[in-house]
């Protein structure tokens, strides 16, 4: 029997994308994203990107694309407007990395687009980029609070008056509500520019006042919680997990794992920093590294560490690659993203496995319905099965030791 050779992203010949738009048809290529296959037909598979053909840019306009995702929308917009300067931004490093790869893949065709590094503070982005146009494409994963914050941020970076905000949205994800939010943010009526395939809508609003501020908007707010006989005052954001209080799963993890004797601890998927901050407080001699793919979460976690006086022993890193962190850890803790796909999670914890020191231990708290999923993931990542360390209510702690 003749076996077909395995094909991976590096070996696959990425075909040019087809489109009814002459400036795009056969000119661009896009790497496989979440669907594990390259983009073949722009109009059918990425109708939000095709809708950018209706955005009327000036010859040398500077454009900022927010929530850029895989970069397709921004790259298509840049290809349609070769004299414009297009900047792509996303708070999620996994998305930013794919966008950067797509930009590199199309660099010869579309040299006028770049990705703002995921490690850049929104504050720095706000100060550095002067734009005349913001393009925003909210997706299903974004909360209304996060969408409102992104709209406010986009308004604050526009060169006003006369700056334009283009919103590409979809009826099924609340597009009409998004349009109303945009109108409320700018205080003027929006204009429906075009309708795209399958229910996509393109709205536009024009700034008529100059209200650019020196700092980006924020949704941060203070919360307090008690655990292990200690009180903590921190800040959270509505877009982050456990935004109102310490969640029960994390509480179980902190109460059932010995935090007193580690030398170096790693908090994987730190969010606003609950696990890492408590661990560093309980163990006054240990050093803690917190990581997340969401740059907003990382900035917030580090600010919380400084506010608690932990800045010298705690660091927060924005990365999608655990292996990129120097050194090893004798304790790895995580309340992982339950809904991420298996391959992403296997990659994440395979990296964590490489960082676990001899004699070290890893502890994950998961919802009861996800125990089987994470037993499989940990077995794949560490090469042996996990055991149950503790359970309470809806949550179970899984552990592995080296």
Q: Where are the domains of the chain?
A: 42-206, 221-401
Question: What is the CATH code of the structural domain delimited by 42-206?
Answer: 3.40.50.150
Both tokens of residue 358?
């001899």
pLDDT in tens, 126-173: 555 568 899 999 988 788 888 988 898 888 888 667 889 999 999 888
Q: At what angle do helices 274-282 and 295-307 cross, to 10 degrees?
A: 30
The pLDDT score that the predictor gives to residue 129 is: 59
Tell me the pTM.
0.78
The pLDDT score that the predictor gives to residue 10 is: 42
331, 360 Cβ separation under 8 angstroms = yes
Low-confidence ranges of the chain (pLDDT < 50): 1-11, 118-119, 121
The pLDDT score that the predictor gives to residue 7 is: 39
Which of the listed CATH numbers 3.30.1240.10, 3.30.930.10, 3.30.360.10, 3.40.50.150 matches domain 221-401? Answer: 3.40.50.150
265, 289 Cβ separation under 8 angstroms = yes
């Amino acid at each position: 029997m003749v076996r077909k050779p395995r094909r991976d992203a590096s070996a696959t010949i990425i075909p040019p994308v087809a489109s009814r738009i002459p400036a795009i048809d056969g000119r661009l290529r896009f790497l496989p994203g979440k669907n594990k296959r390259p983009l073949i037909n722009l109009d059918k598979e990425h109708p939000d990107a095709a809708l950018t053909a209706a955005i009327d840019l000036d010859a040398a306009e500077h454009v900022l694309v927010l929530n850029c995702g895989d970069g397709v929308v921004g790259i298509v917009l840049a290809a349609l407007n070769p004299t414009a300067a297009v900047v792509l931004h996303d708070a999620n490093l996994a998305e930013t990395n794919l966008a950067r790869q797509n930009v590199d893949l199309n660099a010869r065709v579309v040299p006028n687009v770049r990705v703002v590094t995921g490690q850049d503070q929104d504050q720095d982005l706000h100060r550095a980029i002067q734009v005349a146009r913001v393009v925003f494409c909210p997706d299903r994963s974004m909360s209304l609070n996060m969408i409102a914050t992104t709209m406010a941020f986009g308004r604050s970076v526009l060169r006003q008056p006369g700056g334009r905000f283009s919103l590409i949205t979809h009826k099924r994800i609340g597009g009409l509500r998004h349009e109303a939010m945009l109108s409320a943010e700018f205080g003027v009526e929006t204009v429906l520019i075009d309708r795209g395939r399958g229910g996509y809508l393109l709205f536009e609003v024009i700034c008529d006042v100059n209200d650019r501020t020196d700092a980006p908007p924020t949704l941060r707010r203070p919360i307090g919680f008690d655990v292990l006989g200690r009180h903590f005052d921190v800040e959270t954001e509505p877009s982050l997990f456990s935004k109102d209080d310490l969640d029960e799963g994390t509480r179980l993890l902190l109460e059932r794992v010995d935090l007193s004797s580690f030398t170096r601890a790693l908090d994987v998927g730190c969010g606003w920093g609950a696990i890492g901050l408590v661990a560093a407080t309980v163990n006054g001699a240990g050093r803690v590294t917190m990581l997340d793919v969401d740059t907003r979460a990382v900035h917030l976690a580090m600010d919380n560490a400084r506010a608690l006086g932990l800045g010298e022993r705690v660091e927060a890193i924005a990365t999608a690659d655990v292996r990129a962190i120097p050194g090893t850890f004798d304790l790895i803790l995580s309340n992982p993203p339950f809904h991420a796909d298996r391959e992403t999670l296997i990659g994440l914890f395979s990296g964590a496995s490489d960082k676990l020191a001899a004699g070290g231990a890893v502890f994950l708290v998961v919802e009861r319905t996800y125990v089987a999923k994470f037993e499989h993931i940990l077995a794949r990542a560490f090469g042996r099965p996990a055991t149950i360390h503790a359970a309470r209510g809806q949550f179970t702690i899984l552990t592995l030791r080296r």
